[in-house]
Structure 1
């Protein structure tokens, strides 16, 4: 997930976390040049407190915080004319202005997702899923809904993904899979507790795991065999809708579908033509 957004949202932050986060947000350009000791001194905290904040937002440490900040600052400067993914239109927007904004936010999301695409990982994910004995889909919320559309497209090719919308039943489904099987897990945050519980069951059973998430440093990512990272620029709790993240998830699932199709093009083309 976008680091700057996480610092703004302050989810489960302590008072000390908030102090450090506020300083980083107000002095982004300076912080990327600071040592952890210097940041601790500027915020009247400690190096340990800075490390705790880094880990709370899904980073391995202070070095990764500076790398992520630098990347996001560069992106913001290069894309200064882009729409706010969380609020792409305003209270006084006309219908045509809304239509234009939604087109622009879709274009913006696809451009961002294309830049983040790792083709080697996408190829590996497609082969892993295609060659598995049983395939299963897991997730909750909007990400899972995108997965159900993917499941329907695959079913038309004769490729069946086991799926259940009942969250408690996902754990039982996961427990039936083995090391010969593969799971596709969809989660924007990569830290949703029900999804992590399911993922741990899959991991325990030796199931190969492909995840699509907006946080490449999340607990879900660490449990996965292949991680496909999409941009996550929306604020989690303060936004109009998931226009941006949903477009990115759909885009990656469409690429995954198409790559799996290409791997067995002759057979699949006969089925789609018929």
Structure 2
């Protein structure tokens, strides 16, 4: 597994001998990387701090802090190739892969979340009560799911999947709604332009994306990363949707806990109305 990841990185970034030593160490010590300084990593890989900085810039990171925050998630994502579905696989093999993939995806998402950012996001939603989401295609379907479950908490979500509505909303929205942008690849030019519009208008917004380095995140107030590697396999879109649903479920659960008594009373009233004539 580690050799396959090393080969892929070498193919994409033309790694030097020192780079390969660094990658090998990263793969074997993923959990300790966030605690290491660049000098400590250089010492452990028998290289230099200059070599470390050169390496992280080669693979697309701006600085060492940015690298530490994202590299573990990136390398873990590449391990998801192990769950590819092949022609002729039996039911037992596929069922094991599907269940393990969902578990691993949720665990990787959980590990990558910034707890302070998540708490800030939840507090903002609880305070504002209104959430507007820009999302296209299947992404919007997951967001409609969020709209349904959040409404049980008295929080109302509007999903904008049409480009003209997204543009008009970004041009007119006041600073009293929570704005979210959902994009797997973060390459949609309209969404990038909308993020710049929101930034110019000083409207805070949250980006949900599967890409570590992208222009949407550069403009965002908060970014939540999900496991997603578009080069690795045909199951990656499913991984993104599983991760996105988990994040919405997590936000819902935190909000539920914050207003537990109020929500329980609301649920009783809802059930009285909904089941009255059934």
Q: Tell me, yes or no, whether TM beats 0.5.
A: yes
Question: Counting helix residues as a fraction of each chain, which structure ranks higher?
Answer: 2
Structure-2 separation of matches of 1:75 and 1:236: 14
Instruction: Kindly indicate whether residue 259 of structure 2 is the aligned counterpart of residue 261 of structure 1.
Output: no
1:132–1:204: structure 2 CA closer, same or farther, 3 Å change rule? farther
1:38–1:171: structure 2 CA closer, same or farther, 3 Å change rule? same
Task: Return the offset for 1:97.
Answer: 1.8
1:240–1:134: structure 2 CA closer, same or farther, 3 Å change rule? closer
1:242–1:70: structure 2 CA closer, same or farther, 3 Å change rule? closer
Partner of 1:23 in structure 2? 15
Structure-2 separation of matches of 1:127 and 1:167: 29
Uncovered stretches (5+) of structure 1, i.e. residues with no partner: 10-17, 40-46
Structure-1 separation of matches of 2:263 and 2:17: 50
Q: Give me the TM-score of the superposition, normalised by structure 2.
A: 0.71
Q: Is the CA contact (8 Å cut-off) linking 1:178 and 1:205 kept in structure 2? A: no
Partner of 1:156 in structure 2? 152
Count of paired positions: 244
Structure-2 separation of matches of 1:136 and 1:198: 13
Task: Return the offset for 1:27.
Answer: 5.2
Structure-2 separation of matches of 1:250 and 1:100: 21
Partner of 1:239 in structure 2? 234
Structure-1 separation of matches of 2:114 and 2:265: 29
Partner of 2:246 in structure 1? 251
Structure 2 counterpart SS, 1:206 = coil
Uncovered stretches (5+) of structure 2, i.e. residues with no partner: 24-41, 272-278
Partner of 2:81 in structure 1? 84
Aligned runs of 1:1-274 on 2, under 5 Å? 8=8, 21-23=13-15, 28-30=20-22, 33=45, 51=57, 54-55=59-60, 59-61=61-63, 63=64, 67=68, 71=72, 84=81, 87-132=83-128, 134-232=130-228, 234-236=229-231, 238-273=233-268, 274=271
Deviates more, 1:87-96 or 1:104-113: 87-96
Higher relative contact order (CA 8 A, sep 6+): 1
